[in-house]
């Protein structure tokens, strides 16, 4: 796992790249690769590549940049290619000669052999930049699910890229103006969807995309090379589907056990990570497992994780987190790189920190919910789709009846928002996804951030839904989670918090072969009325106790409400109500004060809103200062 950066100055520009610029960009990524660095500068000083290395495979000769035989191609690469040995054998049979044992060099020769289509043959997680001096083109690529990040900026005098935003900001000309549309999306969705970033003019390469920068033409060519296909469905019985899934998961886990450094697993106690640990134990020597919890039983899964660890005799490590939240916030905001308001970033940071004391690589259970229907909105999609087929007057009457007589439901903000959404005459399924992710609704957003009223109002979720309008409700939900929420939020959290601790994370449940198989399985193998992750739970029950396999999803959360409104209430108010706070360049103080002074019944919703403001304030002070 590494950090990459670099740039190309246009031939007609008087400016040049120099090693000092590349070194500054590279040093901003030192947490992603603390072991070594590397640089390439073209003879005309117009092209520069930088690299920070976390050594995992080929410790002795895998330093980057890596070139082909005549040095006409140079590459910097972040990630792991799990099929590199098979691909290397194929390339050697075609006459290619290798100088190292690294997976990185495999990409160089695959590009020579297959051109930009080489990405179709890469099985793994990756973000790379390849400079082809013969064609005068820079080739960027990002993996199918978006596990590894890549930012870029096309300026008036050239093109620049980096694994993180803070690396690009080492270039004085990089734009530093906050994009108001991106900020509105941050408040709305908790993250900023690709391709935009928080800064005007700086973009993210979307998952499963390649980009070619033609130096002579000063042009960009962006291309999408993969998407999960949900049709046609595979004609498999439930038993056959279970065996097919087990076969793919076993392959995915074994591939991710390739490492020249110590390796372990993050074990939450849920079925996803528990199944991964079981398959690791089946495949090799004793597994090292890492679990954290809080001194609050509502947020502590340690007993369940311990049960799995005991079953598979793992070398188990636990940590009870009692953080001084306000002390750690500046670090979280710095390592997140751009604002992202998922509070589970904090426990992810701590479990990564603990694991790094023992290993360099961990496997995790990310992807189980997105592939197999583990969230509440997947089940709600079935109900909502049925309700949407009723006449408007009948649907609204039923909803009012439920709200009036279901006192407990009517007090739940999420249910209230769902009811309001379904009452709209033009209701569409994508609006349910909006409701699921919505941090600030339209009214509260405009109270906080008045500029939102004048910004384009198209929905990121609507755009993704419209690309596959014929998919049925559950498949449409799962596809949107895979293409939007997963790479925008969950994988950002995992990448940034693990890399903050120089820890590589691997996700067998997000192997693209597993994703492709899951997508083409019937929706009722995944979710039905009051049942979620049906197939995955059935498979997990073969490896973990039945009570764990059937246990409801708990989620990897933190006692945020208690922290913000009780333990740290006074300092939180001091930070957010300080007249000099940077957030007031964008938001209304009265709206922030209303969040802090809200009634107890509103604190559950507002605690996440306050968290988003704290992250933004610390980001503005730490990175954009």
Supply the pLDDT for residue 285: 85
By mean pLDDT, which of 96-110, 188-202, 305-319, 553-567 is the weakest? 553-567
Higher-confidence residue of 324 and 288: namely: 288
Q: What is the DSSP letter of 430?
A: H
| CA distance linking residue 357 with residue 131, whole number of Å | 36
**Neighbouring-strand partners of residue 132:** 73, 137
In CATH, what number does 2-224 get?
3.60.20.10
Mean pLDDT score, 428-433 = 77
Mean pLDDT score, 276-298 = 89
Four-residue CA torsion sign, 47, 52, 54, 55: positive
Supply the pLDDT for residue 282: 95
pLDDT tens-digit series, residues 330-371:
999 999 999 999 999 999 999 999 999 999 999 999 999 999
What is the CB-side half-sphere exposure of residue 481 using CA atoms within 13 A? 26
List the domain boundaries for the chain.
Answer: 2-224, 238-373+488-549, 376-478, 560-622
Mean pLDDT score, 307-313 = 95
Supply the pLDDT for residue 408: 45
- The pTM (predicted TM-score) of the whole model is 0.93
What angle, 0 to 180 degrees and rounded to 10, lies between the N-to-C axes of helices 473-480 and 429-437? 40
Mean pLDDT score, 172-186 = 95
Supply the pLDDT for residue 51: 93
Q: What is the mean pLDDT of the chain?
A: 90
Buried b (16+ CB within 10 A) or exposed e, 355-394: bbeebbbbbbbbbbbbbbbbbebbbbbbebbebbeeeeee
Where are the extended beta strands (E) located within 94-136?
A: 124-132
Which of 283, 281, 237, 324 is CA-nearest to residue 567?
324
Supply the pLDDT for residue 248: 98
CB atoms within 10 A of CB 215: 20
**C-alpha pair distances (Å), 573 with each of 496, 567, 580, 607:** 27, 12, 13, 12
- Using pLDDT thresholds of 50, 70 and 90, give the confidence band for residue 206: very high
Contacts of 612 (CB under 8 A, 6+ apart): 186, 187, 190, 339, 341, 439
Q: What percent of the chain has pLDDT over 90?
A: 70
What's the alpha-carbon Rg for the chain, to the nearest Å? 24
| CA distance linking residue 197 with residue 262, whole number of Å | 35
CB atoms within 10 A of CB 56: 22
Q: Counting Cβ atoms within 10 Å, is residue 522 exposed (0-12), middle (13-18) or buried (19+)?
A: middle
Class (C level, CATH) for 238-373+488-549: alpha beta
Cα of 75 vs its chain's centroid, Å: 24
Does residue 445 register a pLDDT over 80? Answer: yes
Q: What percent of the chain has pLDDT over 70?
A: 90
**C-alpha pair distances (Å), 53 with each of 5, 36, 62, 143, 502:** 12, 5, 9, 19, 10
Catalytic residues: 2
Mean pLDDT score, 514-526 = 97
Buried b (16+ CB within 10 A) or exposed e, 585-595: ebbeeebbeeb
């Amino acid at each position: 796992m590494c950090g990459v950066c670099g740039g190309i100055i246009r031939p007609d520009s008087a400016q040049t790249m120099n090693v000092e610029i590349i070194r500054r960009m590279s040093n901003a990524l030192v947490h992603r690769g603390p072991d070594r660095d590397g640089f390439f500068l073209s003879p005309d000083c117009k092209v520069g590549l930088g690299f920070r290395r976390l050594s995992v495979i080929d410790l002795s000769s895998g330093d980057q940049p890596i070139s082909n035989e005549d040095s006409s191609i140079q590459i910097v690469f972040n990630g792991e290619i799990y099929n590199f040995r098979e691909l290397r054998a194929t390339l050697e049979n075609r006459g290619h000669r290798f100088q190292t044992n690294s997976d990185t060099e495999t990409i160089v020769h695959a590009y020579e052999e297959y051109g930009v289509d080489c990405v179709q043959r890469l099985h793994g997680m990756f973000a790379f930049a390849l400079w082809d001096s013969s064609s005068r083109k820079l080739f960027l690529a990002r993996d199918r699910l978006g596990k590894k990040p890549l930012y870029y900026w096309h300026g008036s005098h050239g093109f620049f890229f980096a694994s993180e935003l803070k690396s690009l900001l080492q270039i004085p000309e990089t734009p530093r103006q906050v994009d108001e549309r991106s900020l509105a999306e941050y408040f709305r969705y908790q993250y900023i969807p690709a391709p935009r970033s928080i800064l005007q003019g700086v973009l993210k390469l979307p998952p499963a995309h390649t980009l070619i920068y033609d130096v002579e033409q000063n042009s960009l060519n962006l291309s999408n090379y993969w998407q999960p296909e949900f049709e046609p469905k595979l004609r498999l019985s439930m038993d056959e589907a279970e065996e097919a899934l087990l076969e793919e998961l076993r392959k995915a886990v074994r591939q991710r056990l390739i490492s020249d450094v110590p390796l372990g697993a993050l074990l939450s106690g849920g079925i996803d990570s528990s199944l991964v640990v079981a398959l690791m134990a089946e495949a090799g020597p004793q597994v090292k497992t890492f679990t954290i919890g809080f001194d609050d039983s509502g947020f502590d899964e340690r007993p369940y994780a311990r049960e799995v660890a005991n079953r598979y005799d793992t070398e188990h490590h636990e940590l009870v987190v009692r953080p001084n939240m306000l002390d750690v916030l500046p670090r979280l905001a710095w390592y997140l790189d751009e604002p992202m308001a998922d509070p589970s970033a904090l426990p992810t940071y701590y479990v990564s920190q603990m694991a790094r004391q023992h290993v360099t690589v961990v496997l995790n259970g990310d992807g189980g919910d997105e592939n197999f229907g583990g969230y509440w909105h997947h089940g709600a999609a079935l109900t909502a789709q049925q309700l949407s087929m009723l006449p408007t007057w009948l649907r609204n009457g039923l909803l009012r009846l439920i709200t009036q007589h279901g006192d407990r439901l009517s007090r739940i903000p999420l249910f209230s928002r769902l009811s309001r959404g379904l009452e709209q005459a033009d209701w569409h399924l994508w609006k349910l996804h909006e409701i699921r992710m919505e941090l600030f609704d339209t009214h509260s957003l405009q109270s906080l951030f008045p500029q939102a009223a004048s910004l384009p109002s198209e929905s990121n979720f609507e755009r993704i839904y419209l690309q596959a309008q014929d998919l049925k409700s559950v498949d449409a939900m799962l596809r949107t989670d895979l293409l939007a929420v997963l790479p925008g939020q969950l994988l950002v959290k995992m990448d940034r918090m693990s890399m903050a601790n120089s820890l590589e994370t691997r996700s067998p449940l997000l192997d693209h072969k597993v994703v492709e198989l899951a997508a083409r399985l019937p929706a009722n193998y995944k979710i039905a009325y009051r049942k979620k992750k049906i197939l995955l739970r059935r498979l997990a029950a073969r490896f973990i106790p039945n009570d764990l396999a059937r246990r409801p999803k708990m989620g990897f959360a933190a006692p945020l409400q208690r922290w913000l409104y009780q333990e740290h209430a006074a300092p939180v108010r001091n930070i957010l109500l300080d007249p000099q706070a940077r957030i007031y360049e964008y938001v209304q103080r009265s709206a922030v004060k209303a969040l802090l002074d809200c009634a107890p019944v509103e604190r559950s919703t507002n605690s996440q809103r306050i968290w988003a403001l704290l992250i933004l304030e610390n980001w503005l002070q730490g990175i954009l200062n």
